[in-house]
Amino acid sequence: MRLIDRYLLRQLLGPTVLATLALTGVAMLSQSLSALDLMVNQRQSALVFLEVTVLAMPQLINMVLPIAIFVAALVALNRLQTEQEIVVCFAGGMSRWRVISPAIRLAATVAFIALLSNLFLQPTAARTMREALFQVRTDLASTLVREGEFTEPAPGLTVYAQTVDAKGDFRNLFIHQTKPNGSSTTYMADRGHIAKRLGRAVLILRTGSTQEFSPKGVLNYLTFDEYAFDLAPLSNADELVHYKPSDRYLHELFFPDLQQGWEQRNRLSLLAEGHSRLATPLYNIAFMAMALSAIIGGGFSRMGYGRRIAAIAAMAAVVRILGFVVQAGCEDSAWLNILQYAVPAAATALALRSVFRQRAGRFIDLRRRPAQAIAAAT
């Protein structure tokens, strides 16, 4: 790679990294706000909150990468063009392809990294996040008792605790249970906590009493220093983690187990997700090509490129929205999956066509007629 190629690549690489970091930060903020429910309502630790937020990043980064490339390319190319550095490149005999090749190589490299992420990193992170959320959802300590609230974790069962400390211990606990035979039992305890005994989840009640009413109206009253309330009926040991299409690897999307009812019913959705994993990285190249079209495609302008950039930005938004629409349509018709590749490919072809449609020969004439060539370039 020649010196000028490395220079152009550096001018594009810096803004691309900064734009990616900035947009990723915004995406992480939005994800963290939605994950606050884990700490507020589910009473999970900050470590679980951080884990869920970080595991959601690969998918979010893949979504913001094309936008980051587009914004960074516009900033870098606009500066290079307004300072006439690109004009100098053309005047020095560089072809249009030589001038835009560093940008295309950068976009292709980012697309390849995004492809690897789509194939391996994203499903791995999504599976881990799904398992973490499953553990949160099935956490008896967070679903059974809410501080200062009457909850009904199961039919016929009402639970109340005045306070829940940081260690998960309950204070002033009240439990009312109605059984199918018509009897009801009320438990009251000063303290309580969830533990394991003989491999079963139990709620240990300390210093309390029980009141049991039989269907015949007989009251049995007992006091205890410690009582183990069985929680096994409240937990579904047979419940398994269900992986969504975004959590699955590519071979699971293209070759699902059709003996499973859910996968058979959602075969088209899995296929659409698989093709989306392969087609989405192409938007990085398409958006880079559109940025090149906005700056170089129309030639040099002393008045700036505001209108042209706004028009190309609107077209880029339409292209990406069209991609989402096509992906949604592929869930109903398998043949539409070809459009997932056609949309970014067509956008790339049209953008590059606008870049190459103008002749660069007027810049090369600088060696013969400097004054006329510079006047034509400006």
Strand partners, 152: none
* Structure confidence at residue 11 as a pLDDT band (50, 70, 90): very high
How much is the pTM?
0.78
Whether 367 has a pLDDT exceeding 80, the answer reads no
pLDDT at 366 exceeding the cut of 60 = no
Contact of 292 with 73, CB cutoff 8 Å: yes
DSSP state letters, 160-226: EEEEE-TTS-EEEEEEEEE-TTS-EEEEEEEEEEEEEETTEEEEEEEEEEEEEE-TTS-EEEEEEEE
pLDDT for 12 equals 93
The confidence score (pLDDT) of residue 377 equals 46
CA-nearest of 106, 44, 160, 128 to 288 is: 106
What is the predicted pLDDT for the residue at 269? 95
Which band of pLDDT confidence, cut at 50, 70 and 90, is reported for residue 365? very low
User: pLDDT tens digits, residue range 207-249?
Assistant: 999 999 887 778 889 999 999 888 777 665 455 678 899 999 9
Segment 88-136, tens digit of pLDDT: 888 888 889 999 999 999 999 999 999 999 999 999 999 998 888 777 7
Q: What CA dihedral angle connects 297, 300, 303 and 306, to 10 degrees? A: 20
Count CB neighbours of 238 within 10 A.
5
Q: Specify which residues 319 forms β-bridges with.
A: none
Cα separation, 146 vs 164, in Å, equals: 8
Separation between Cα atoms, residue 310 and residue 285, nearest integer Å: 19
Whole-number average pLDDT of the chain: 85
Distance CA 270, CA 262 (A): 11
Identify the residue whose tokens are 């906005």. Answer: 294
Q: What gap in Å lies between CA 38 and CA 135, rounded to an integer?
A: 11
Lowest mean pLDDT among 37-41, 66-70, 200-204, 318-322: 37-41
Contacts 24+ apart (CB under 8 A), 25-32: 26/64, 27/57, 27/60, 27/61, 27/63, 27/64, 28/53, 28/57, 28/60, 31/56, 31/57, 31/60
Which pLDDT tens digit goes with each residue over 268-277? 999 999 999 9
Q: Could you identify the residue written with the tokens 């490299």?
A: 109
Lowest mean pLDDT, pick from 19-28, 136-145, 177-186, 195-204: 136-145
Euclidean distance between CA atoms 257 and 228, whole angstroms: 43
The answer for residues whose C-beta is within 8 angstroms of residue 349's C-beta and 6 or more apart is none
List, in sequence order, the alpha helices (H) in the chain. Answer: 3-40, 46-55, 57-82, 85-91, 96-116, 122-137, 140-144, 250-254, 261-265, 267-279, 282-295, 306-329, 337-356, 361-364, 370-377
Tokens of 108: 């292709």
Q: For residue 343, what are the contacts with CB-CB under 8 A and spacing of at least 6?
A: 279, 319, 322, 323, 326
For residue 235, the model assigns a pLDDT of: 60
Residues of 44-71 as b/e, b for ≥16 C-beta within 10 angstroms? beeebbebbbebbbbbbbbebbbbbbbb
What's the pLDDT score for residue 300? 57
* pLDDT per residue as tens digits for the range 276-309: 999 999 999 999 999 999 998 876 556 667 888 9
pLDDT for 36-79, tens place per residue?
Answer: 766 666 666 678 788 888 898 999 999 999 999 999 999 999 99
Instruction: Band the pLDDT of 183: cuts 50, 70, 90.
Output: confident
What does the pLDDT read at residue 376? 46
The residue with tokens 């997932």 is 340
pLDDT of residue 374: 42
Are 266 and 332 in contact by the 8 Å Cβ rule? The answer is: no
- Binned at pLDDT 50, 70 and 90, residue 322 comes out as very high
Average pLDDT in the 179-206 region?
A: 85
* CA–centroid distance for 277 within its chain: 13
Residue 361 pLDDT:
42
Q: Span 328-353, mean pLDDT?
A: 96
Residue 371: per-residue pLDDT: 46
3-class DSSP state for residue 301? coil
| The pLDDT value given to residue 41 | 61
